[in-house]
């Protein structure tokens, strides 16, 4: 799978395999080691959130579990009102460095 460089007008999605390739290259690891490191990181994040704690990566961002309130919604199929129950959701809050790197500055 070839990686496509992105510019301001095009986008691409990077999946686990491509991400592990990039990790292997940048960290001078084998593909297998990088894939194991990525999987271990994702498991650690998931288990931390399942345990009720937040994951904070300074400069990158934070993963937090937040409760969304119950609300009234509309069924798009028949336009009838429905009750949407409260539930927990995982939220990501980007850190300043990540936000500054991604957001284009207007002059």
d(CA 50, CA 105): 36
C-alpha 20/C-alpha 58 separation (Å) is: 21
Distances (CA, A) of 81 to 46, 77, 78, 84: 34, 11, 9, 10
Residue whose C-alpha is closest to residue 59's, from 89, 102, 18: 102
Sign of CA dihedral 38, 44, 45, 47: positive
Which stretch of 1-10, 41-50, 57-66 has the lowest confidence by average pLDDT?
1-10
Does this model's pTM top 0.85? My answer is no
Question: Of the candidates 61, 73, 71, 69, which has an alpha carbon nearest to the alpha carbon of residue 88?
Answer: 69
Q: What confidence score (pLDDT) does residue 6 get?
A: 45
At residue 22 the predicted structure's pLDDT band, cuts being 50, 70 and 90, is: very high
pLDDT tens by residue, 76-89: 999 999 999 999 99
Q: Is the pLDDT of residue 66 over 80?
A: yes
């Amino acid at each position: 799978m070839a990686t496509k460089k992105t510019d301001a007008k095009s986008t691409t999605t990077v999946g686990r395999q491509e991400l592990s390739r990039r990790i292997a290259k940048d960290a001078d690891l084998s593909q297998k080691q990088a894939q194991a490191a990525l999987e271990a990181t994702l498991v650690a994040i998931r288990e931390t959130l399942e345990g009720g704690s937040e994951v904070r990566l300074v400069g990158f961002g934070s993963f937090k579990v937040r409760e969304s309130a119950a609300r009234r919604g509309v069924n798009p199929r028949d336009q009838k009102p429905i009750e949407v129950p409260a539930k927990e959701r995982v939220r990501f809050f980007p850190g300043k460095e990540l936000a500054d790197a991604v957001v284009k500055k207007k002059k």
